[in-house]
Amino acid sequence: MKFADEFRDREKAKALVCEIEKLANRIEITKTRPLNIMEVCGGHTHSIFRYGLEGMLPPTIELVHGPGCPVCVLPMGRVDDCVAIAERPGVIFTTFGDAMRVPGSKKSLIQAKADGADVRMVYSPMDALALARNNPDREVVFFGLGFETTMPSTALTILQAEADGVTNFSVFCNHITIVPTIKAILDSPDLHLDGFLGPGHVSMVIGTAPYEFIAEFYKRPMVVAGFEPLDVLQSIWMLLKQISDGRAEVENQYTRIVPEHGNDPALAAVGKVYELREFFEWRGLGSIDHSGVKVREAYARFDAERKFIVPNVRIADPKSCQCGEVLKGVLKPWQCKVFGSACTPEMPLGALMVSPEGACAAYYQYGGIKRHSALEPAVDHS
């Protein structure tokens, strides 16, 4: 496949792994412990497992799977709020497919649908707006979630609804921001990280400048990475090169997609429609200041939190579920007590097993990869 196969070349991957190993052996700290590198984005986690990249790396490098899947960090209380809105008479509740199965304290959205709520899967917020136009006697609510990657599309849909005079459309806003999240991870006392693979899709919107504090104040290198196997391996090599040279900088491996200063039209729409929340609750990470956005007062008529009464109650995760520790990188997915037994993609206890970008779901699907079998899409024969 043109423009994809070039980034999956087996021989180039072997050469990169060889160079990575040479660099790792030159770094003094690897004589006492592995280098801990966190991939922030769930898309990177999926690529790492799918192509067996973790097994290709030398034991002196430990990949830590971060909280970069927006579905996975959604707390139970917010899912309960979704269900409460969806079960109101006259409401059509719309959502992306991977959010339908995230467990709430009593039920998920797909279970609410089975119980009679009108919950529909859409592929974009514009699909939800079209539903509102076609059903003027119903209230159509779009479940807005995701990092800065998906914020612009929701913001532009709200602006389009205003321009069209649509009054029966609103957004239940759960959009979150990446920078405060990384800061919270860096401030965590139980986790030591030596560098970051930066999120490619988020950076396509916000650029690379917002990450400068990581290098400047925390003295940790970051490389914004693409999602193909060679992208990830080259980004790890770039990180190790910085560590070996005693540098801490923000570098951009994904230059074919990510501009230094971000996407100006997308950022303008985000700034016009949203403002920062004082704090937002994350599954496993607790409350993080200024880590979420809400709809501005000027667009209050499109804000489902203002239009409907929601419970807005904080709900603790089941004690048996260790999603929080996995999200923070303290545990690997297979170290969770219920992984693969009580918690599977068919019957998930935690959100990390729901989304394809969740670390638990990715490892469950691709966890049988052997060290020598990378660079072809993995098949689990278990």
Asked if 173 and 293 count as a contact pair (C-beta separation under 8 A), the reply is yes
Residue type, 176: I
8-state DSSP, 290: T
Architecture of domain 76-176+292-307: 3-Layer(aba) Sandwich (3.40)
Closest to 156 (Cα-Cα) out of 120, 176, 129, 137 = 129
Task: Decide: helix, strand or coil at residue 373.
Answer: coil
Q: What radius of gyration do the chain's Cα atoms show?
A: 21
pLDDT of res. 347: 76
Fold matches, 1-69+185-252+323-382 and 76-176+292-307: yes
Helices (H), the chain: 10-26, 42-50, 53-56, 76-86, 109-114, 125-134, 151-164, 178-186, 200-206, 212-217, 229-245, 264-273, 304-307, 323-327, 359-366
pLDDT of res. 372: 37
Instruction: Enumerate the domain spans of the chain.
Output: 1-69+185-252+323-382, 76-176+292-307
Length of the chain: 382
Q: What are the tokens at 239?
A: 């990180």
For the entire predicted model, the pTM comes to 0.86
User: Which residues face 274 on adjacent strands?
Assistant: 295
CATH T-level topology, domain 1-69+185-252+323-382 = Rossmann fold (3.40.50)
pLDDT of res. 363: 81
What distance in Å separates the CA atoms of residue 168 and residue 302, rounded to the nearest whole number? 8
User: Which residues face 224 on adjacent strands?
Assistant: 198, 252
Give the full edge-to-edge strand order of the sheet including 195-198.
Answer: 61-68, 35-41, 195-198, 222-224, 250-252
Task: Decide: helix, strand or coil at residue 25.
Answer: helix
Asked if 95 and 109 count as a contact pair (C-beta separation under 8 A), the reply is yes
Q: pLDDT tens digits, the chain, 382 residues: what are they?
A: 566 778 888 899 999 999 999 999 999 999 999 999 999 888 898 899 889 898 899 999 999 888 777 777 888 899 999 999 999 999 999 999 888 988 888 899 999 999 999 999 999 999 999 999 999 999 999 999 999 999 999 999 999 999 999 999 999 999 999 999 899 889 887 778 999 999 999 999 999 999 999 999 999 999 999 999 999 999 999 999 999 999 999 999 999 999 989 999 999 999 999 999 998 988 777 888 999 999 999 999 999 999 998 887 777 766 777 777 777 667 788 888 888 888 887 777 766 787 766 778 888 887 654 433 344 444 443 3
Asked if 225 and 37 count as a contact pair (C-beta separation under 8 A), the reply is no
Neighbours of 197 (CB within 10 A): 29
What distance in Å separates the CA atoms of residue 168 and residue 151, rounded to the nearest whole number? 20
What distance in Å separates the CA atoms of residue 196 and residue 273, rounded to the nearest whole number? 30
